[in-house]
Amino acid sequence: MDTRTALLDSAERAARQRGFDAFSYADLARDVGIRKASIHHHFPVKADLAFGLIERYAARFSEALTDIGNTYDTGAEKLRAYHQTYRNALADGSQLCLCVSMSAGRDSFAEPVLDQLNQFHEDSVAWLTQVIQQGIADGTISGVTAADADAQATLALMEGAQLMARAASSLSPFDKATQAFLDRLV
């Protein structure tokens, strides 16, 4: 495998488990099997690594949402798949999805990284708004008054539920927090 990719993989794992500021180039070097200095060839400064991570993540997530849109028909089915994506990212409660991790530690990031992060949030809300509107139209989601507010609430719920699950090192707070959301779907 490509060294750059191996570095991104290792960094993503570390960032999701321990936070972006909690791993060092030394950790990365140990994990990937090269020397610290070699990492700087691929990511001159750590901000480049942060940007590389969020960039790849946003691209992958965007693909995943497109896949969900193509695979499922009803609004409810798509929202269940979206929920499952966040649930899977938790694993056994030991890691967050990268965007929650980076949202939480946002102070160490420079403008370009924050822009990507906020763009990701906006894209998510836009996708959710569309899917919720479809769910209203096809009658597979109940209890919605404003689709865009509901979309923002859904994203906040997923991210918050991840945070609590991780604090407890258990999936159950996530499942309990998202139960009512799932119950609104046919």
Partner DNA sequence: GTCTATAGACTGATAGAC
Partner DNA sequence: GTCTATCAGTCTATAGAC
Residues contributing to the site for DNA (CB under 7 A): 3, 23-27, 34-38, 40-42, 44-47
Contact window for a second copy (CB under 8 A) among 12-20, 29-37, 52-60, 133-141: 12-20
CA distance 66 to 63: 5
160 binds, among a second copy, DNA, none (CB under 5 to 8 A by kind): a second copy
Tell me if 137 sits within 8 A of 128, measured CB to CB. no
Is there binding between residue 167 and a second copy (CB under 8 A)?
yes
Q: How far apart are CA 18 and CA 48, in angstroms?
A: 19
117 binds a second copy (CB under 8 A): yes
C-beta of 33: minimal distance to a second copy in Å? 24
Partner in contact with 24, chosen from a second copy, DNA, none, beta carbon below 5 to 8 Å by kind: DNA
CB under 8 Å to 166, separation ≥6 — which residues?
A: 90, 93, 94, 95, 96
